[in-house]
Structure 1
Amino acid sequence: MSKMTAVFLPGNKQVEVRAVPVPEIGPDEVLVEIKASCICRSDLSLYYGNAVISGGDSNQFVCGHEPAGVVVRVGEAVTEFAEGDDVAVYLGVGCGVCHHCRTGHFYLCAKWKCLGFTMDGGNAEFLRVPARNLLRTPKGMSHLAAAISTDAFGTLFSAARKLGVNGLSRIGIWGMGPMGAAGTLAAKAMGGRVVALDPIAERRDFARSLGADLVLDPRDASAADQIREFAGGEGLTGAVDCSGQSVAHNMALDALAPMGKLALVGEAASTTIKPSDQLIRKQVTVFGSWYFGIDEYADILRLIETHAIDLERLATHTFALHEAETAFRMFDARETEKAVFVR
């Protein structure tokens, strides 16, 4: 049986690169040769040993939930994909027949599994997935861009769409890591004006280069006043938090105009807010936004193409699979932003 290289995260900041069998596929499955697979901040929960998505022993699964590559084998029941197709992969594998699966939200399925967390993921040479999880990518899109187009860009596209971003929107984005940077690209492409906030100067500079209209250090005593002036005096129409920090939640809620909306994207186990002043009196909507419906991917690609969005700019470092220990150590230390395994 042939072997492949794969990356595992057993916890306690341990990274193991193992030789494991190339998976066999079933009738409705495909085998994808992985060409690019991103590291995400949520992967650090596996790296530390406190997985944000649980179900089974995560130590036994190949990590990685943002892969893209080429179909190299198809099951006998697969008719819509063929060997040689360029694809990205949708991270949630559902039952396929429940209400949530049939509306394109596989990750809401009661029986769902998640690439890299509760089933084998994409930080490997090959990946086995159901054909229904493939996202066909267009000619000319690199595998690197395709991998970034899913969790990083796709998640923030979906959040911006839920906020109703348009040419009249005034959007604040807290946290300019890879997700916040992707959110800046998405909101700008949809026509919104964006204020980007991050305490790290290099991230603020990057946000400015991506087209943010105003860039602020949230610790600046004048930041709230500058946001109010940017938003025309009344407040932001929408906000996105990618930091997962309670201080950011409060700052965003305070900055919202009446009837504004806040999308929570950054993972957080708990937070403290002031519902009466921040929500009830202003009729503000707060919602969680995690990933995207699979039916949204066509629009995600359309926005990328129409606005010539260069997703590769978000990848600051690339690594080979055998460099996984270095990749996760640097990512954990914030010595990289979006880091991607490439082959």
Structure 2
Amino acid sequence: MLAAQFTPESGFSIVEADRQPLNKGEVRLRVDACGVCGSDRQVLKGESVPAGTVFPLIMGHEISGTVVETGEHADDWQAGDQVVVYPFISCGTCSPCKNNQPNLCIRQKCIGYHLPGGFAEEVIVPAGQLIRMSKRCSSAAAALLVDAFATPYHAMSLSDIQAGGTVLVIGTGGLGLATLQLAKIFEAGQLGAVTRRVSGVKAAEKYGAQMCVSTQDGARSTARKIRRWSGAGGVDVVIDTVANKETAAMAFDVVRPGGTVTIIGMSEDTASIPIAKTVRRGIRIIASFGSMINDVRKLMDLTDSGQLDPTKLIAGTLQLQNVNQAFADDRASSGRWIIKPNDQTR
């Protein structure tokens, strides 16, 4: 099979990879679509490589595909089934796993980093990671549910967003745009966005933001505009999908007393907060990582019922041999790019 193999020294190479046999409980998928995540971009730049990642690497953890072969003890699936893959594999025995937090498993493995991923014509995955795909959803759109949408959905579920409340999303990359799109499901009353790019303003408005400001005007000016827009002493819930020291400072500056700051971005920055001021204002701080498999199932149901249209987040599709184009700087913040490995790759 063809695969896009990555090393820090050489970048991506299209290689002929060996087709491995199935173990018990595994299935082989033809990869129909695989999303390009911001985490993949960080690995490419050497900014944040998940511990335990071994190169050469076949990336790609936002996978949808079709079952082509099943191993022993994978009886729930058969050839032809269309599925998405929940990419986070937990150990089931550590403290977070025992406390129903498998997304925080200390021995977690992620398909696409610790195991071969979806930037290939085929991928082998444990049968327990599969979720049946909605018939209303294209393969490209379905692939985005497992991370691009599931990560903010999980974070928003923890954030106690009240119907009619004010929500501010920091960042208008793929994660931020997905968060904006999900806000209507949580019945946000006022929805705002912050972007560092002028072009991000129109993107945020397209995804439902009633107000969007660019940080190019400076942090103080931006914060004033947000507080003026939100009223009532500040924003109820701020969701930071960038999470560097500047955006963290802004989040604490504009949230209302008793409000919530939820952090899902993962920069390498170290941020500081004014402790006494934060305590006096009773700010709730949530750091949310990844998602649970049930989050993806719920998103699939929302898509099936027509309440969510993940197609909107697709920036474009590319053949496997053009994988490098998805990582070009001008394509980093326009939504999620999709690799389709079996589209005319030979």
Aligned with residue 165 of structure 1, among 144, 161, 183: 161
Q: What is the TM-score of this pair, normalised by structure 2?
A: 0.90
Q: What does residue range 187-336 of structure 1 map to in structure 2 within 5 Å?
A: 187-192=183-188, 193-220=190-217, 222-306=221-305, 308-328=307-327, 330-331=328-329, 334=332, 336=334
Q: Deviations over 1:77-134 (max 9, x none)?
A: 1122222111111111223455644666444333321111111111111111111111
In structure 2, what is the Cα distance between the partners aligned to 1:313 and 1:39? Answer: 15
Aligned to 2:65: 69
- Is 2:323 the partner of 1:341? no
Q: 1:336 to 1:223 in 2, by over 3 A?
A: closer
In structure 2, what is the Cα distance between the partners aligned to 1:148 and 1:107? Answer: 18
Is the CA contact (8 Å cut-off) linking 1:315 and 1:340 kept in structure 2? yes
In structure 1, what is the Cα distance between the partners aligned to 2:100 and 2:145? Answer: 17
In structure 1, what is the Cα distance between the partners aligned to 2:68 and 2:100? Answer: 25
Aligned-pair CA distance for 1:226: 2.5
Q: What is the TM-score of this pair, normalised by structure 1?
A: 0.91
Is the CA contact (8 Å cut-off) linking 1:228 and 1:235 kept in structure 2? yes
Aligned to 2:35: 38
- Is 2:108 the partner of 1:109? no
Name structure 2 gaps, 5 residues minimum.
none
Q: How many residues align?
A: 338
SS at match of 1:219: helix
In structure 2, what is the Cα distance between the partners aligned to 1:335 and 1:261? Answer: 25
SS at match of 1:248: helix
In structure 2, what is the Cα distance between the partners aligned to 1:272 and 1:84? Answer: 48
Identity of aligned residues (%): 26
Aligned to 1:25: 22
Across the aligned residues of Structure 1 and Structure 2, the Cα RMSD in angstroms comes to 2.1
In structure 2, what is the Cα distance between the partners aligned to 1:54 and 1:82? Answer: 34
Is the CA contact (8 Å cut-off) linking 1:173 and 1:240 kept in structure 2? yes
Name structure 1 gaps, 5 residues minimum.
none
Task: In structure 2, give the amino acid aligned to 1:273.
Answer: S
Q: 1:104 to 1:295 in 2, by over 3 A?
A: farther
SS at match of 2:181: helix
SS at match of 1:149: helix
Q: 1:331 to 1:314 in 2, by over 3 A?
A: farther
Is the CA contact (8 Å cut-off) linking 2:48 and 2:268 kept in structure 1? no
Q: What does residue range 109-188 of structure 1 map to in structure 2 within 5 Å?
A: 109-188=105-184
Aligned to 2:81: 85
Q: 1:48 to 1:224 in 2, by over 3 A?
A: closer
SS at match of 2:142: helix
In structure 2, what is the Cα distance between the partners aligned to 1:267 and 1:52? Answer: 11
In structure 2, what is the Cα distance between the partners aligned to 1:229 and 1:163? Answer: 23
